[in-house]
Amino acid sequence: MKQAARNARRQERVLGLAPTMGALHEGHFSLIREAKKQCAPVVVSIFVNPTQFGAGEDFSKYPRTDEADRRALENLGVDYLFAPAAEEIYPPGFCTSVNVEGLSERLEGKSRPGHFRGVTTVVLKLFEVVQPNLAFFGRKDAQQARILRQMASDLNLDTQLAVCPIVREPDGLALSSRNAYLKDDDRHAATALYRALDAMRLEIEAGERDTARLLGVIRGVMQAQPGAQLDYAEIVDADTFEPVMAMRKRCYALIAARIGGTRLIDNALIEVEGDLLRVTV
């Protein structure tokens, strides 16, 4: 992989990377299609990263569909599949990690201690191996994308991050590999995250600006859904990820919840243009 990357750089080609943990779905494919528009060659990595899973989380049962993933990537015309073994990424004696302080301790970081340290460490390793000009991530993991941007800036990396829109099922559920865990009874309940964000959007379009009231709308939808257990709902500044009382230029409404035994996240982007607010769910 490193030799292929060197060859691409020597030829002054624009190399793109879509890092994944496999169990590929249309959300991943949308990143790959965008990468193919901007880059050649395109690399997709598949690595279920053990260091971003906490105690009691789902590392051992995380969906792995390697052969189906490989066929899908061939059909999409991906140039390279980089699927290293865990021993290659974390050889014996490995003792280095990367942590973006502050941003990594909030929200997802608070609910999943150590999670983002695992993410930033493995992504930096992928960037060092693949040396991409552009790396493509989904907006569903908005906090992760913000942390990785900070890491790239702080460490003077050449890689630029491209954050692509959320891809949803027709009923609004954000695509995620973890959706495979949802049992039949949980499948409709899982749409509560989208319905809560969309209810907030309607309130904003009707003129509501008070974040406490908007969060009340989100929580009300979640509380009304049997089988849904809210972890957090927050409206935060898109740069600092600190809670806001008044909406600024860019904010995220973030939500995390357990649906049965499955933990899901979702968000809406709120952009302020003068007196107008545009909400993208």
Residues recognised as catalytic = 28
Closest CA to 30 of 41, 40, 44, 9: 44
Query: In DSSP terms, which residues pair with 81 in a beta bridge?
Result: 44
DSSP 8-state assignment for residue 249: S
Give the torsion sign (CA, 67, 28, 118, 149): positive
In contact, 194 and 174? CB cutoff 8 Å: yes
Is the CB of residue 253 less than 8 Å from the CB of residue 277? no
CA angle 21, 24, 27 (to 5 degrees): 105
Residues 114 and 219: their CA atoms lie apart, in Å, by: 27
Tokens of 216: 């009340």
In the numeric block, which tokens belong to residue 186? 């949980």
Q: Which residue has the tokens 């941007």?
A: 149
**How far apart are alpha carbons 130 and 15 in whole angstroms?**
8
Dig out the tokens for 189 from the structure. Answer: 């309940």
- For residues 41 and 79, what is the distance between their CA atoms, to the nearest angstrom? 6
Q: Give the strands of the sheet with 42-46, arranged side by side.
A: 80-82, 42-46, 16-20, 134-138, 160-164
Q: How far is CA 179 from CA 6, 63, 233, in A?
A: 37, 10, 20
